[in-house]
């Protein structure tokens, strides 16, 4: 059967795909452990197929999930884009939504992405400097582990200052992500 697609619909889809192609490879925050700690599979996702494609699945209560940073993320793109799970297909961050709705230009969105990535890099550098070495964990977990360590009063002034710097950097990052990326 031949299905006729309304030309306006076609135009919108093309524009939306253009925005995704331009913004997402420059961003990656919803795959690299900055925005999310894990992603739950949905009804209809094929866990066996996903595991075969390299998705690192684990049991999360009664659900199946995979951790972030995602094992299929190469730092820029999704390695299993055509077969990605449902949540990944459905997700559209607040920034992308505003671009799709014509409320924000792609250029302005790219600047926001660059700023978010810079803020996340500061937090990442600080947690590493404060002893967090497991790069497979999401950023919020790494921060929580560092923050939970008792303050060593005999530690150098530099280390105590670094902890303060980390708290401020996290507050700034969370606020920025809430304002620009959450839906
Ligand atoms: S957070 Fe938004 S802009 Fe960034 S990769 Fe995800 S969907 Fe794309
Ligand atoms: S499967 Fe692909 S889209 Fe989903 S989190 Fe992993 S890299 Fe991102």
Strands 63-67 and 58-60: antiparallel
Q: How far apart are CA 53 and CA 55, in angstroms?
A: 6
Please compute the mean of the pLDDT values over residues 4-28 and round it to a whole number.
68
In a domain, 23, yes or no: no
- Kindly identify the ligand whose nearest atom is closest to the C-alpha of 114: 1
Please report whether residue 135 resides in a domain: yes
- Look-up: residue for tokens 């920025």? 176
- Residue carrying structure tokens 């135009």: 11
What's the total number of domains in the chain? 1
Kindly state whether residue 66 falls inside one of the protein's structural domains.
no
Ligand 1 geometric centre to CA of 43 (Å):
23
C-beta 116 within 6 A of ligand 1: no
Quickly state the pLDDT bin for 12 (edges 50, 70, 90): very low
Q: Is residue 137 part of a domain?
A: yes
Q: How far apart are CA 69 and CA 79, in angstroms?
A: 13
Residue 177's domain spans which residues? 93-183
Among 12-26, 89-103, 164-178, the minimum mean pLDDT is found in 12-26
Evaluate whether residue 175 is within a structural domain.
yes
First to last CA, the chain: 37
99 falls within a domain: yes
Global confidence as pTM: 0.88
The ligand with the least distance to the CA atom of 53 is 2
- Name the residue at shortest CA distance from atom 3 of ligand 1: 24
């Amino acid at each position: 059967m031949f299905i006729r697609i309304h030309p306006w619909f076609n135009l919108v889809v093309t524009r939306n795909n253009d925005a995704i192609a331009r913004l997402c490879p420059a961003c990656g925050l919803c795959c690299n452990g900055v925005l999310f700690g894990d992603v739950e599979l949905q009804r209809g996702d094929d866990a066996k197929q996903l595991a075969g494609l390299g998705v690192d699945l684990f049991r999360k209560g009664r659900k199946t999930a995979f951790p972030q940073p995602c094992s299929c993320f190469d730092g820029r793109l999704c390695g299993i884009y055509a077969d990605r799970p449902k949540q990944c297909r459905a997700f559209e961050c607040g920034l992308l939504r505003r671009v799709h709705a014509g409320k924000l230009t792609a250029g302005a969105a790219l600047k926001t992405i660059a700023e978010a990535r810079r803020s996340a890099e500061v937090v990442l550098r600080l947690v590493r400097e404060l002893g967090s070495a497991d790069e497979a964990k999401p950023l919020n977990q790494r921060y929580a582990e560092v923050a939970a360590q008792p303050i060593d009063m005999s530690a150098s002034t530099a280390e105590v200052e670094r902890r303060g710097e980390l708290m401020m950097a996290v507050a700034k990052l969370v606020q920025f992500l809430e304002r620009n990326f959450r839906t």
